[in-house]
Amino acid sequence: MRRAGLVALAAALLPLAAVAAEDGRQFVAMPAEARAELRAEMIDFQSALHQIVAALGEGRHGDAADAAEKQIGVSAMGRHRHAAPNARPGMHMPAEMHAIARGMHVSASEFAKAARAGDVAKSLQSLQTVTGACVSCHRAYRTQ
């Protein structure tokens, strides 16, 4: 009886193990403090993106530009500059991951410039480069 229970449990867990093994993303080890900072920053990025799309939809290009520059753009870089090393996510990122992050900041600033100039086509292109950076990083790396 007991044995049958264990076998059933193993059978139930097997698909989970298979899913875990299929996760091809690179694991990046970070101290808990750095991960907590990264998560807080990520939630802010998501809110910023939401604000940007809302502002664009309502034709408030200046507001979209401000949100992008302040919250994701080059102006938002170095948020953890004065934190202890164990609370600085960037210090624990492999070079390529860090490059994706920098590219995201630069693209958000390019978006801000284009949006401020009222160039809708160009601003959407830059915004897609921003979301592309979110996607590339999330598809390539994991921290847990």
Contact positions vs ligand HEC (CB under 6 A): 35, 38-39, 42-43, 45-46, 49, 72, 97, 100-101, 104, 130, 133-134, 137-138, 141, 143-144
Q: Are 75 and 67 in contact (CB under 8 A)?
A: no
Q: Are 68 and 54 in contact (CB under 8 A)?
A: no
Tokens 């921003």 identify what position? 130
d(CA 34, CA 36) in angstroms, rounded, equals 5
Q: Are 115 and 96 in contact (CB under 8 A)?
A: no
CB-based contacts of 102, cutoff 8 Å, min separation 6: 77
Closest approach, Cβ 15 to ligand HEC, in A, equals: 24
